[in-house]
Amino acid sequence: MPNLRRSPSSTHFELPVQVREDVQFEDVLEGLKLHDRGYDEAFLRSIYEFSRQTHGEQVRRSGRPYFTHPLHVAFILAHLGFDETCVAVGLLHDVLEDTLAERQEVADKFGEEIAQLVDGVTKIGRHSYVRRDQAQAETFRKLILASAKDIRVILVKLADRLHNMQTLEHMPVESRRRIARETLEIYAPTAHRLGMSKVQGDLQDLAFYHLHPQEFSELRNQIQQKVKHGRQATDKIRTHLVSLLTDAGIEAEISFRVKRFYSIYQKMRRQGIDPSQLYDYIAFRIVTPSVRDCYACLGVVHQAWRPVPGRFKDYIAMPKPNLYQSLHTTLVSPSGEPFEVQIRTREMDLIAEDGIAAHWRYKEGDSEPTETDQSFSWLRQLLEWQKDVQDPRTFLNSLKIDLYPDEVYIFTPKGDVFSFPRGATPLDFAYKIHTDLGHHCVGARINGKLEPLRSELKNGDIVEIVTNPSRFPSRDWLSFVATSRAKTKIRQWLNTEQKQRAIEIGKRLVERELKKHKVGIKRFLDSDSLVEYLTAEGIARPEDLFASVGYGKWQDLRPTHAEPGPDE
């Protein structure tokens, strides 16, 4: 169970995550030492002093010095196992946004790399936009694009959000709810994408607490009672597991945990049940030295208890996009209650808990994703897709789609596997493979059977796309595709096609008007006065002028920009 403490919030419920209030600079260094991270103490101390002095007398809503916030962020990053640069940026992450410090000053003192990372974490100023949601969307756009170039940007932001959520009770109620919703929609799914399950769980439970304090408190109390009353049965299962694996000669560490409150809450809502009907709220974990031992353990537990049909998942053979690997199975106890068992190696366990943090330690802290880093591929894709999306709010909506964690795994006929959000269609699959394949898609063979484009793909489907080079996207496609890549590519094609038609219509209208005045189109386009006019109006090319005419934006087509001449 998470550690609990009394919250000063007006709701009088206890926070689901313990918060340390006495963090010191030395605690940050201890975190770096804990994970064997090398660091320059003098360099970090100079950053610590600069941040502390720059924030000066600023205070948080709690009344505590503002500098305690960046110090906590650095503490979180250090104890997650990230490097000296990440920790340094954690200490500095608010100086450009909330103090008089300038980017160049940070670069001069601590280097361009740190200045660039601090700038990546800094919000877009609200004054640049009329509406809050516009500023928020552009901030997320900037954050994600900066993270696609250097993953440490999003790591610092996640630590920043985690500490802000831990101290959110001091904010007004409406602000708490807005920030909690934002956390559930963006930050917790981002942590999931990076495999950071502990951070994800903390963010979700804290958001749940602030959005639904009454439901949170009731659920927590009922789960605590279930754990207390079921402790004897839980210990009996664990003892039996130890005995079984010892007899089988399998070395293993066996533990159990209570599932996260928000995860339980979601399951109850999906199934329409209340806590009294909830049974599999505990998961046993078996950690072994090798993959071979994992499958041997699976055989042992399936012989000892009856497995629940359809509840076995092999994430070792088919890892999740965030690098998560484990065997999951649900078994039925002698009393008839189901319980979950997760089986994994020690390395898999580290990555399952810490995600990119564990991956980072194995990779020696490389900042840029490589082609083999599957957990970062979505960031690279976002970097590519954003070129086609100009409106930041559209980008944010696309981002929410891509962060949706409920996934299915689909195969090509050659055996390649791709992950998609639940609800994806053959069109999403086609656009994932190649843009042209999507543009000319007319159907799909799913498991050998011809199916329409609207078909929803199921886990394990084998999909082969059927194309016709004379067929092109339809606006109707936007109503059923599920991925942002497909939506973006379809909109891009439709916009290009619409503009091309407008250009053709506009050019015909201009030519018809020119003909009335005996002005040839070539003379019209070559005239200096037209070039000057287009420049003054901010129109880049004659094609853009034709498009404006085609869209009906010009009412007066009298040719004032060329002298009459022979038709050409």
Annotated active-site residue 97? The verdict is yes
Choosing from 14, 27, 97, 388, which is the catalytic residue?
97
Structure tokens at 418: 């791709």
Helix axes 377-385, 484-516, angle to 10 degrees: 10
Structure tokens at 231: 């402790």
- Which residue type sits at 451? E
User: Beta strand pairing status for 417-421 and 407-411?
Assistant: antiparallel
> Three-state SS string across 371-434, please?
CCCHHHHHHHHHHHHHHHCCCHHHHHHHHHHHHCCCEEEEECCCCCEEEEECCCCHHHHHHHHC
* Residue 79, CA distances (Å) to 26, 82, 566 in order: 12, 8, 79
Give the closest residue to 121 by CA, choosing from 366, 98, 110, 105.
98
- Report H helices in 13-151: 25-34, 41-55, 68-80, 84-92, 95-98, 103-110, 112-121, 132-149
Alpha-carbon span 331 to 302, nearest angstrom: 8
CA 209 to chain CA centroid, Å, is 21
Annotated active-site residue 353? The verdict is no
- 509, 556 Cβ separation under 8 angstroms: no
CA 79 to chain CA centroid, Å, is 22
Choosing from 14, 27, 98, 182, which is the catalytic residue?
98
Name residue 332's beta-bridge partners.
306, 338
So which residues are the catalytic ones?
A: 97-98
